Amino acid sequence: MSFFKIFILSIALLFCACSNFNTQLKRLQSTSAMERCEAIYWLYFNVKTETSKKLLVDALEKDQSMLVRSMAARIMALEGKAEYIPLLEKALNDSSPLVRMEAIQSLGSLKSKSSIPLLTELLLKDTDIHVRLKALKSIQYMQAEEDIIPVLIDSLEDQEPSVRFQALLLLEKSTKVKLGSDKETWKKWHQTNLPK
């Protein structure tokens, strides 16, 4: 292939890429949450720049759609950068359970052990069962059950049976002890088996 043909082909590809970039920027202004999700996804994975990073952060912090905010949290986990941890921790307070769940899962994927106190708080206080279960699973994924045994024991009295069940499974897994689901029995065991 001649230099001229390669040059023309390169310009054509560049024009297509720029055109698509501008198209995606316009889609960010769409009234459709799905279009904004697709645009954020395309921009982030096809244009690795500070601009695309800022658009991702803005999507998590400012978009009115829980779908867009949750997609932004998921992309942050896929990117795998610890610099997103403070943003994801902030998203744990989002009004949408879906966004909180994605932020929890992303923190778990990033193995952010510094976030365990916040996940523990969600486990104990969040009103949404799915958020509490996601917090339990992220703590398990980070292999941090030992750090929160007292919280797991308290979760044996959660109002939701599935949270109680998951807490019991994590207790048994992390302690290698089977004491049933009685909170007081576990408390006594924990008091006598605290690390010295």
Residue 194 lies in a domain: yes
Residue with tokens 């308290």: 154
Residue 92 lies in a domain: yes
Same domain, yes or no, for 101 and 154? no
Same domain, yes or no, for 106 and 141? no
Q: Which pLDDT does position 29 carry in this prediction?
A: 86
Domain of 99, CATH number, reads: 1.25.10.10
Q: 101: which 2 tokens?
A: 């769940």
Q: Which pLDDT does position 8 carry in this prediction?
A: 46
For 127-175, what is each residue's pLDDT tens digit? Answer: 999 999 999 888 887 776 667 788 888 889 988 898 889 888 888 888 8
Residue 123 lies in a domain: no
What is the dihedral angle through the alpha carbons of 144, 147, 118, 41, rounded to the nearest 10 degrees?
Answer: -10
Q: Which pLDDT does position 39 carry in this prediction?
A: 85
Q: Which of 110, 127, 150 is the last residue of a domain?
A: 110
Q: Which of 95, 110, 125 is the last residue of a domain?
A: 110
Domain that holds residue 50: 35-110
Residue 80 lies in a domain: yes
Same domain, yes or no, for 90 and 56? yes
117: left (phi over 0), alpha (psi -120 to 50) or beta: alpha
Residues 6+ apart with CB under 8 A from 166: 133, 136, 137, 155
Residue 90 lies in a domain: yes
Same domain, yes or no, for 100 and 61? yes
Q: How many domains does the chain have?
A: 2
Residue 53 lies in a domain: yes
Residues of the chain whose pLDDT is less than 70?
1-19, 144-146, 195-196
Residue 62 lies in a domain: yes
Same domain, yes or no, for 99 and 143? no
Do residues 85 and 100 make contact, with C-beta atoms less than 8 angstroms apart?
A: no
Do residues 84 and 103 make contact, with C-beta atoms less than 8 angstroms apart?
A: no
pTM for this predicted structure? 0.77
Q: Which pLDDT does position 37 carry in this prediction?
A: 84
Same domain, yes or no, for 186 and 146? yes
Residue 156 lies in a domain: yes
What backbone torsions phi and psi does residue 166 show, to the nearest 5 degrees?
-65, -40
Q: Which of 76, 110, 144 is the last residue of a domain?
A: 110
Q: Which pLDDT does position 160 carry in this prediction?
A: 87
Same domain, yes or no, for 140 and 106? no
Same domain, yes or no, for 142 and 97? no
Q: Which pLDDT does position 18 carry in this prediction?
A: 44
Q: Which pLDDT does position 145 carry in this prediction?
A: 60
Q: Which pLDDT does position 51 carry in this prediction?
A: 80
